[in-house]
Amino acid sequence: MTATVTLADLLSPLSPDRFVGRSSRCARCCSEARGRAFDGLFGIERVDEMLSSLTTRSALVRLYRNGEPVARKDYERVRRLAGERHRDFIDYDAVVDQHLNGATINLRFVERRSAALAALCRECATVFASASHASAFLTPPRSHGLRPHYDLIDAFMLQVSGEKRWDVWVEDCNRLALRTRGYDPETVRRQVAARPPDHSFLLRPGDVLYLPRGFTHVTYSNADCRPSLHVAVSVDPVRTHDVVQTEAERLLETYKGRYDLRRCVRAAGASAFPDESAQVAAIVETQFEAFVEDLAARVAGLDGAIDGARAYDPNPSGGSLDDIAGRLERRT
């Protein structure tokens, strides 16, 4: 069994270029068995390996029971490291106990533990001009993971083992809030209460589900004796807003060195405009037109602008788990 999985394997019969170019990509949901095994990417043994590692910290692990997050303190332990006590290491026995009592285990940035999965994420990042990471979700039988929600990223769901049902509500992703805002639980609650799901998929090992951003979803594992394990490979393409915002912020930084813009607006053109409101409007309009022209010239170099917009990603491929954990801790 080979562990190599490419984007073409996930999208067949569409090519990656054709998939990216489809105008309906953000308004469709599809699932088909590919006859491909994904356990070589990140199987149950990798889950156990990551949880039992002495270096795994709680920033990389989330637990959910009945749709609600489990408090970290319920599965953390204290370890002494370099002479100092740290309280954020994983308590393996506590995690297993939580799982046996119905908790879903979510492992973050698992591409760091699998060369084949890292290669798939890098390919997705290249093809979609995006950040790409992978998370694993291990759900016990007769359970569901997170409450109904939507994500602000696109994702490919790869069913590794067991079975999981996905109920999906379709929305226009372009009407969503920008990624700087979290999802709105009240909007999701009203949506789920208003109508049944638009799609219901049962994923079996080897199945792939593409889930666009903004599609509300909830999952349930089957009532057999096997837990469900799936890997979510996220894709966060650069959008027009990202490019404009990034380049505008960079341009504003360069304007800080413009000493002519530091003069008082009233003094700058008082003699030319007896009416103060007209004076202010004319000066600001002139400067704004110049700013827009400069911005248009910068965005014209689209490749550089896209690279800049992608720079927000705090966890590019490469580096160590300890580095990632440190960055996550500073953010949480």
The CATH number of the domain where 174 resides is what? 2.60.120.650
Has residue 177 got a pLDDT over 70?
A: no
Same domain, 233 and 248: no
Q: How many CB atoms lie within 10 A of CB 315?
A: 16
Same domain, 175 and 43: yes
* pLDDT band, very low/low/confident/very high, at 48 (cuts 50, 70, 90): very high
The full DSSP string for 246-291 is HHHHHHHHHHTT-GGGGS-HHHHSTTT-SSHHHHHHHHHHHHHHHH
CB of 202 closer than 8 Å to CB of 165: yes
Ordered alpha helix ranges (H), the chain:
7-11, 16-21, 39-42, 44-52, 92-100, 115-128, 185-194, 240-255, 265-268, 276-300, 302-310, 321-331
Has residue 207 got a pLDDT over 50?
A: yes
* pLDDT band, very low/low/confident/very high, at 256 (cuts 50, 70, 90): confident
In the chain, what percentage of residues exceed pLDDT 70?
Answer: 73
Same domain, 266 and 230: no
* pLDDT band, very low/low/confident/very high, at 233 (cuts 50, 70, 90): very high
Query: What pLDDT shows up at residue 252?
Result: 79
Same domain, 87 and 171: yes
Domain boundary among 237, 255, 277: 237
Same domain, 188 and 62: yes
In this structure, is residue 315 part of a structural domain?
no
In this structure, is residue 328 part of a structural domain?
no
In this structure, is residue 316 part of a structural domain?
no
In this structure, is residue 233 part of a structural domain?
yes
Which of 122, 144, 148 lies closest to 133, judged by CA?
A: 122
User: What mean pLDDT value characterizes the chain?
Assistant: 78
DSSP structure class, residue 175: G
pLDDT tens by residue, 63-114: 999 889 999 999 999 887 777 888 889 999 999 999 999 999 999 999 999 9
Same domain, 12 and 161: yes
| 3-class SS of residue 58 | helix
Same domain, 204 and 283: no
pTM reported for the whole predicted model: 0.75
CB of 35 closer than 8 Å to CB of 207: no
Has residue 46 got a pLDDT over 90?
A: yes
Please give the average per-residue pLDDT across 11-22, as a whole number: 75
Give the domain range for residue 259: 241-300
Domain boundary among 187, 213, 237: 237
Same domain, 286 and 232: no
Has residue 31 got a pLDDT over 80?
A: no
- Pick the range with the lowest mean pLDDT from 22-36, 251-265, 305-319: 305-319
pLDDT tens by residue, 275-314: 666 666 676 677 777 777 777 776 666 555 555 555 444 4
DSSP structure class, residue 205: T
Range from 158-167, 263-272, 283-292 that averages highest in pLDDT: 158-167
In this structure, is residue 310 part of a structural domain?
no
DSSP structure class, residue 214: T
In this structure, is residue 331 part of a structural domain?
no
Same domain, 21 and 161: yes
In this structure, is residue 321 part of a structural domain?
no
Same domain, 114 and 197: yes
Same domain, 99 and 15: yes
Has residue 272 got a pLDDT over 50?
A: yes
Same domain, 68 and 129: yes
Rg for the chain (alpha carbons), in Å? Answer: 24
Query: What pLDDT shows up at residue 308?
Result: 54
Please give the average per-residue pLDDT across 49-70, as a whole number: 92
Helices (H) and strands (E) in the chain, counts: 12, 14
Query: How far, in Å, CA of 281 to CA of 28, rounded?
Result: 46
In this structure, is residue 323 part of a structural domain?
no
